[in-house]
Chain A
Amino acid sequence: MTAISTTGLTKRYPEVAALDGVSVALEENRIHGLLGRNGAGKTTLMQLLTGQVFATAGSMQVLGGSPVENVEVLSQTVFIQESQKYPDTFRAVDVLRIAAGAYPNWDQGYADRLVEQYRLPAKRLIKKLSRGQLSAVGIVIGLASRAPLTFFDEPYLGLDAVARQMFFDDLLADYTAHPRTIVLSTHHIDEVANLLEHVVILDQGKVLLEADTDELHDAAITVSGKATAVDAFLAGREVLERKTLGTLATATFTPRDGDELAAREAGLDLTPVSLQALFVHLTTANTASAAAATDTHRASDRAIV
């Protein structure tokens, strides 16, 4: 079953189109990655899906209904927002107490264990917590609420390496024990890449790529060797990125059957591209083509003048 599906979802603010015609389908009980650079529209998409903001155009189905003012949907949804504002006077313990009442599946024992584990100073004012401790508050709520639909927006900002590993282990363990739909948004991809089953890459408010991570392994590879050989090998094919150093070159491209053999015969090396690298290639290429398009516009503007 599909937990989330959107069609042409658009959110325009006076200054900017934060989301522009986004159509995605996220299966239930999987871990989805929502990837994109800062300002790509990740948070806006999640705010729309949780009814926090209203769409300008398009439609969406969340857990079988519209999330807007829908108690049935929203009571099964938890959204841990990276920039969540808390009242000045709140301590972590206050937020946890409210969360305990707001989420039907809340597991207090588990929450207590997590607070201990992440060494969260629960009685300190939230506005005095460090970035990492603030992330820990979100992690405790996001995990202990056991909501059928869980959104994590940049959940591990400011956490040290130990705590990050802890989070990945906790997430996996609890997800395995209590399967649910998890949407993890981040721009730090490498560490979570292996946890994701499906990814959506957003850039400038649009979907750049939506695929299962298994398929992504074939989405791009890098070939390296003598520049002349590399160029001959890739003649006429679309290249995501090309770099040269003296007579050597590397190029990233979308492979097809038979490339492996051909490369070997040409004396070229093939190396796989990580999700992080693919993400960088795709978004960089997109920025470049957008810039090129703007340049063309400007050129034609001048032509008219």
Chain B
Amino acid sequence: MRIRNVVQLHTVNKLQAFGWPLIIMSLSLTLVLVIGALIVNVGGAEAREGMNEGMQYSGAIFALLGPLIGFGFTAMGQYFPLALGFGLTRREFATGTLLVFLGNALFYAVIVTIGKVIEVATGGFGLSVRFFDVVYTGLGEWWQTLIQTFLLIFTVMLVGAAITTAFHRWGQSFLWIFWIALAVLILPVVAGFLISEDFRAFAGQVGGMGWVPWMGVILGFAVVGGGTWLALVRRAQAR
């Protein structure tokens, strides 16, 4: 039953857990609407079309997703020591935190989905803007957006928690290895893009492999991140 205490630990401050992310999202959405109104009024139909096209890649939604990325880091960095301080076991903390991650991801995925449905139905809030209906949250059906957003948020939280736990365990040397490993993975891709026409074609194919395989990739990250986190947290110590 003490899992309830862990959940409470994460959510006791309602403003912090739910208030601010939603307030920041609303501000960001307002800003997008204002910009949309300006462009529509000044630019006319052609500008309107171009804006709608370009805004598929708009990162304004990260005003909501961004703070949620930090959630995984703070869960291990700030809430884990306090949970131990309250005499909660690592197992209880991990279980409760996993539930919070799931609940959070679901809550915000539903919000984004509702936003997208409204946005699509009203023709971009009557201004042809895109805020919820972007590539990161899925351009397909509403249920695809629900699944994609949920998976994205959940994965990012797990990976954040895993990285923080590993950092606590091995300190700075882990960060060095992490960044080096990341560079080893990314540099060849960047180099491939720059020098090889074949690689660009191949990357294009991978990029266009469809929604389901992409979801599989995200799920893969979730499994690796979650597995690492759960394995490490069992031996994590207070600092």
Q: Do chains A and B touch in the complex (CB under 8 A)?
A: yes
Contact of A87 among B74, B89, B235 (CB under 8 A): B74
> Which of A47, A88, A89, A101 is close to B8, meaning CB atoms less than 8 Å apart?
A101
From residue A68, how far is it (CB to closest CB) to chain B in Å? 9
Name the contact of B238 in the complex, choosing from A53, A75, A89, A94 (C-beta under 8 A): A53
- A257, CB-defined interface residue at 8 Å: no
Q: Does A78 contact B (CB under 8 A)?
A: yes
In chain B, what residue has the closest Cβ to A101? B5
Query: Does B87 belong to the interface (CB within 8 Å)?
Result: yes
A111 to nearest B CB, angstroms?
Answer: 15
Q: Which residue of B is nearest A74, CB measured? A: B87
**A98 CB contact (under 8 Å) in B8, B74, B90, B237:** B8
Closest A residue by C-beta to B17? A89
Instruction: Assess whether B78 is in contact with A88, with CB atoms less than 8 Å apart.
Output: yes
**Set of chain B residues within 8 Å of A97, measured between Cβ atoms:** 8, 12
Q: Which residues of B contact A101 (CB under 8 A)?
A: 4-5, 8
In the complex, what residue of chain B is closest to A96 when comparing beta carbons? B12
Asked if A71 is at the interface of the complex by the 8 Å CB criterion, the answer is yes
A89 contacts B89, C-beta separation under 8 Å: no
Give Cα distance in the complex from A54 to B84, angstroms: 13
* Chain B interface, DSSP helix/strand/loop, else mixed: helix
- Chain B interface residue count, CB cutoff 8 Å, equals 25
- A12 nearest CB across to chain B (Å): 13
Instruction: Please indicate the chain A residues that have their CB under 8 angstroms from the CB of B89 in the complex.
Output: 51, 69-71, 74
CB-CB contacts below 8 Å: A81-139 with B: 81, 84-91, 94-95, 97-99, 101-103
B16 at the interface (CB under 8 A from A): yes
Given contacts A87-B79, A102-B2, contact A53 B237 (CB under 8 A): yes
Looking at B4, B79, B237, the one whose CB has the most chain A CB atoms below 10 A away is B237
**What B residues does A69 contact at CB under 8 A?**
89-91
Tell whether A84 pairs with B87 under 8 Å between CB atoms, given A47-B238, A52-B237. no
Distance to closest chain A CB from B112 (angstroms) = 23
Chain B residues contacting A74 (CB-CB under 8 Å) are 87-89
**Least Cβ–Cβ distance between B69 and chain A, in angstroms:** 16
| B interface footprint on A41-56 (CB within 8 Å = 1, 0 otherwise) | 0000001001111100
Known: A74-B87, A75-B87, A84-B82. A89 touches B13 (CB 8 A): yes
Given contacts A78-B87, A89-B16, A102 and B79 within 8 Å (CB-CB): no
Is A79 positioned at the interface, with any CB of B under 8 Å from its CB? yes
A181 within 8 A of B: no
A252 close to chain B: CB less than 8 A: no
Given the contacts A71-B2, A90-B13, A94-B12, A102 and B86 also touching, CB distance less than 8 Å: yes
Contacts of B91 in A (CB 8 A): 69
Neighbouring A residues of B12 by C-beta, 8 Å: 90, 94, 97-98
- CB contacts under 8 Å to B, within A28-71, are 47, 50-54, 69-71
Is the CB of A185 closer than 8 A to any CB of chain B? no
**A-facing mask of B78-101, CB < 8 A → 1, else 0?**
110110111111111000000000
Q: Is A204 an interface residue (CB 8 A)?
A: no
Complex formed: what's the CA distance from A120 to B15 in Å? 22
B85 touches A79 (CB 8 A): yes
Contact partner, A102, options B5, B78, B81, B238, Cβ 8 Å:
B5
Cβ of A250 < 8 Å from any Cβ of B? Answer: no
Is B9's beta carbon under 8 Å from chain A?
Answer: yes
Rounded to whole angstroms, the CA-CA distance of A260 and B237 in the bound complex is 52
What are the residues of chain B within 8 A of A99 when measuring CB–CB? 86
Q: How far is the CA of A90 from the CA of B10 in the complex (A)?
A: 10
Among B82, B87, B88, B90, which residue has its beta carbon within 8 angstroms of that of A85?
B82
In whole Å, how far is A66's beta carbon from the nearest beta carbon of chain B? 12
A95 and B13 alpha carbons, distance in the complex (Å) = 10
Chain B residues closer than 8 Å to A77, beta-carbon distance: 87
| In-complex Cβ contact of A84 among B2, B5, B9, B85 (8 A) | B85
A84 CB contacts on chain B under 8 angstroms: 81-82, 85
Q: Would you list the 9 A-B pairs with minimal beta carbon distance, nearest first?
A: A52-B238, A74-B87, A87-B78, A53-B237, A89-B16, A102-B86, A94-B12, A69-B89, A52-B84
> What are 8 of the A-B contact pairs (CB < 8 Å)?
A52-B85, A54-B235, A69-B89, A71-B2, A71-B89, A81-B85, A85-B81, A101-B4
* Other A-B pairs beyond A51-B89, A71-B92, 11, CB < 8 Å: A71-B2, A74-B87, A77-B87, A78-B87, A84-B81, A85-B82, A87-B74, A94-B12, A101-B8, A102-B87, A103-B87
Interface residues of B (CB under 8 A from A): 2, 4-5, 8-9, 12-13, 16, 74, 78-79, 81-82, 84-92, 235, 237-238
